[in-house]
Structure 1
């Protein structure tokens, strides 16, 4: 594990794994073109990590003399600290609406996705089946809205697209297969996300 003391104060350190939350933060940093040191960790958590995050979870973002470890807090910090390549609109009203959409994505879709991703080895098969069906049905039902604008309910790439991109990338892992004839707008949206430079960088 990298010792933050060995990193220049101006640089960000990200402790991450190959999971969903870490992918989201890496996408955020790539979209904002922020240089950072990446420390990839496996299932073993170094004891030093607890000094940065009392919950001993990742991702953890360290900048200067403090650490952040909650996804939305990390996003808000990066959005406020690095003004280039903003991921929220300019007006208070539009910002609030985008934050509300992001909350709904996390509360409605990602909650189901986390059941399938985080607890896949311990979850009751019936619970997994229900979560899989609910998420699949929601994506199929709402697929047409992805064809109305270039990105999620907006012509500009934003915070909601970061959340969705990392989730859609894991559909195979969640054993969700979207029917092409019903989900063409969503599949085309997914393709646009996966072709972005930021997304390609996070796959390296």
Structure 2
């Protein structure tokens, strides 16, 4: 379906103003230095444009001329291939598969905990905090082993992980006692100018960028 007249540029992203999945795509776009139109929407009350473009009415939704893509994983991989510099995935198939699997684990195990804390009942939020802290504790050795998430260079997996780490203070989730590697990881990502560009005004208030 073609983009509506509302969309003036070749690339348009429909995004919520505080969403780990939308933030993931915005971080990919920022890392690539791609210029695009951002349309912030309320996922509970999607605009008519989004309803016409996406049968699920979900965000993130990316529009490039007559192409419409949705689901953060699909959009992120498309952007990495469409704008190949800098690359956000390794060249060799084994490393690519490993990072794809790690990102899938984030989607299935980590993101639901964030969503439960943000949108669930008190008991669901409490359970989400407990589970998210367990996941963080279990992941500490991975962050000690690599500069980035399971890789020596920033990848699409970091674009999925970093929005979660950024939100930890606002989610009420403290780092584990031996979590300095996680703290150092966050500092490396957050100091990147691209990360600052990826934030909406609401997301910027969830944490503080290092000086």
Query: Shorter-chain TM-score: what band?
Result: 0.7 to 0.9
CA drift of 1:6 comes to 4.9
Structure 1, gaps ≥5 residues long: none
Q: Deviations over 1:160-181 (max 9, x none)?
A: 11111011111123221224x4
Q: Deviations over 1:41-93 (max 9, x none)?
A: 24532122111111122221100102111111101211221111111110122
1:200 counterpart residue number: 196
2:173 counterpart residue number: 176
The answer on 1:34 being equivalent to 2:34 is yes
C-alpha root-mean-square deviation of aligned residues, in Å? 1.9
Task: Indicate if the aligned counterparts of 1:4 and 1:13 stay in contact, CA closer than 8 A.
Answer: no
1:53 counterpart residue number: 54
Determine helix, strand or coil for the equivalent of 1:89: coil
CA drift of 1:155 comes to 0.8
2:102 counterpart residue number: 101
Distance (Å, rounded) in 2 between the aligned partners of 1:166 and 1:203: 9
1:127 counterpart residue number: 124
Q: Deviations over 1:98-141 (max 9, x none)?
A: 11111122222222222223x23xx2x22322221111122123
Task: Indicate if the aligned counterparts of 1:147 and 1:189 stay in contact, CA closer than 8 A.
Answer: no
Distance (Å, rounded) in 1 between the aligned partners of 2:27 and 2:15: 12
* TM-score in terms of structure 1 length: 0.87
More off after superposition, 183-192 vs 17-26 = 17-26
Task: Indicate if the aligned counterparts of 1:24 and 1:162 stay in contact, CA closer than 8 A.
Answer: yes
Distance (Å, rounded) in 2 between the aligned partners of 1:78 and 1:159: 10
Summarize the Cα distance change of 1:176–1:155 in structure 2 as closer, same or farther, 3 Å threshold.
same
Summarize the Cα distance change of 1:50–1:64 in structure 2 as closer, same or farther, 3 Å threshold.
same
Distance (Å, rounded) in 2 between the aligned partners of 1:182 and 1:114: 25
Task: Indicate if the aligned counterparts of 1:87 and 1:159 stay in contact, CA closer than 8 A.
Answer: yes
CA drift of 1:21 comes to 1.7
Summarize the Cα distance change of 1:4–1:144 in structure 2 as closer, same or farther, 3 Å threshold.
farther
More off after superposition, 128-137 vs 160-169 = 128-137
Task: Indicate if the aligned counterparts of 2:20 and 2:160 stay in contact, CA closer than 8 A.
Answer: no
Given candidates 163, 182, 186, the residue that maps to 1:166 is: 163
The answer on 1:145 being equivalent to 2:142 is yes
Structure 2, gaps ≥5 residues long: 201-211
* TM-score in terms of structure 2 length: 0.85
CA drift of 1:201 comes to 1.0
